[in-house]
Chain A
Amino acid sequence: MRLFHGQRAWVLQRLTALVVLLLLALTAATLLIGPAPSYERWHALATSAPGAVLIVIFFAALCGHAWVGVRDIVLDYIQPTALRLPLLALIAFILIAITLRVTLTMATHFTVGA
């Protein structure tokens, strides 16, 4: 098995970019048009079932996208394998931790039917 993939990562980078782009556009359309939303409105939106799920998807996509980008930077600029693998492992750990944390946060706030 190969450690790094060619096409698969390339596709992942673009799919996650599209997800992020779509959700940003959605956010802009619902929240950023007009005056800044009140706390109540923001809280209700973000902790509703679709809102919470979309926030988790957004951060998961960001982390997936960041993974491919950082991996490319490391493969280009950091040549010694002894440095490369620990660095990649660290970044993967951080990105997974971020995704998990957002998932947990949204789960605690999650209110059915809000």
Chain B
Amino acid sequence: MRLSIYRYNPESDAAPRMQDYDIALGGHDKKLLDVLMRIRETDDSLSFRRSCREGVCGSDAMNINGRNGLACITAVSDLKEPVVLRPLPGFPVIRDLIVDMTQFFTHYNSIKPYLINDQIPPERERLQSPEQRERLNGLYECILCACCSAFCPSYWWNPSKFVGPAGLLQAYRFITDSRDTATRERLAYLDDVYRLYRCRTIMNCTEVCPKGLSPSHAIEQIRVALLRESS
């Protein structure tokens, strides 16, 4: 299999370059991550993040043939050769396919990704009806891999101000949670030309989410909630 991979070592390279690899695949090399691990057998200078190797940890997000995805759940058989691998678009590159996620997580923290409830906690737990619990489906599954935000032009142009699809999906996860009492504050925080309203609903986020979630739908729901709030 032929691959062309983005290489950059801040200690030795003045600028990034592309390096070609020709790799003979073994019988168990089913996913792109398997191929990357095989390259590492001959070239251990190639750097990328990986952990669970089954699409749960969200570490190995990268740009694969022009679209963002997780290497561990991308089938080799679906890929056109040469397979071109680049780091997540718009994120500062630390080394090879490893990007700096600091800003991404700053946005995640900014939407207060935890339950806020000022009422006295009940003895056992805060119960939800099945319908209330149902509303969290499609939101709580996010693994924060950043495939979506790194595929969003609005995030590329305003990475320090636009919360981005991943952060907004999480924001809605708490806005719609029946146990959360800070809905109004959360919405007020997002009523901002940058934080929420940079989104133009092109749906690149939903196109690339490896978990099949729809950040664009969450954003749509936040805008509707804001409309209700102000009318």
Residues of A within 8 A of B (CB): 2, 4-7, 9-11, 72, 75-77, 79
Contacts and interface: CB of A to CB of B under 8 A. Distances in A.
Given A75-B158, A76-B158, A77-B157, A7 B198 contact: no
B168 to A, nearest CB: 13
Contact of A6 (B158, B193, B200): B193
B31 interface: no
Contacts of A72: 200
B222 to A, nearest CB: 10
Given A75-B198, A76-B198, A7 B191 contact: yes
When A and B form their complex, which 5 residue pairs have the shortest distance between CB atoms, in order from nearest? A4-B193, A6-B197, A76-B157, A6-B192, A6-B191
Contacts of A9: 193, 197
B interface: dominant SS: loop
Nearest to A78: B157
Contacts of A11: 227
Interface residues of B, number: 18
Contact of B197 (A7, A77, A79): A7
B173 interface: no
Contact of B195 (A5, A6, A10, A79): A6
B217 interface: no
B98 to A, nearest CB: 26
Given A4-B193, A76-B157, A10 B198 contact: no
Contact of A10 (B153, B157, B223): B223
Contact of A5 (B193, B198, B227): B193
A10 B197 CA distance: 7
B64 interface: no
B154 interface: yes
Nearest to A5: B193
